[in-house]
Structure 1
């Protein structure tokens, strides 16, 4: 499996996890999502994207400073970080759109 296919599989797995968390009902008596619910999954995804971007930055800096000669690895990690960030933005846009639709719903 190529690294791009691996990233694609990771993103599909995360989106399936988001879909599963979104489909779980919230009890009106609870008032909040269950512990470790959708918010925790979203925070975990944001942290994973942040870690990937920092990792890519470290590798790129190492190549720029001459500490490493793995240009291909640095570029690959940079592309992974870019794809993950783009996917996270798409999730955010979908959530924002869903929130706007809920707010437009007449009572």
Structure 2
């Protein structure tokens, strides 16, 4: 059940980042046309964000697998399970904060007087 919730949150996060990227492409094209190679800059940032989100997702899935294994009675120390769950929770919260900061920065740039 938690895996589905985390997966939905991660998917939602990816959709919001992609939507923000699409909006920022329009602003970037008007503001700095010719300054940067747009395809390379967008691809690099997009790949970086996607890699980070995938890493968080992998951490959450590993945590869920470890929790499930513990619940099945496998030989996994409870402290390892709790540590993995806290790690995945912290990683997700940090990802949300980064997303919020990126969206705030985008809104600030979008609302700047030209």
Tell me which interval the TM-score lies in, with the shorter structure as reference length: 0.5 to 0.7
Q: Structure 2: where are the runs of 5+ without partners? A: 1-31
Count matched residues.
83
Q: Structure 1: where are the runs of 5+ without partners? A: 1-24
State how far apart, in whole Å, the 2-side matches of 1:76 and 1:46 are: 20
1:51 partnered with 2:58: yes
Q: CA deviation at 1:106?
A: 2.5
- Aligned-pair Cα RMSD in Å: 2.3
Runs of 4+ in 1 over 6 A off after TM superposition: none
1:101 partnered with 2:108: yes
* TM-score (ref. length: structure 2): 0.63
Query: Is the helix fraction higher in 1 or 2?
Result: 2
Q: Could you tell me which residue of structure 2 aligns to residue 70 of structure 1?
A: 77
1:42 partnered with 2:49: yes
* TM-score (ref. length: structure 1): 0.67
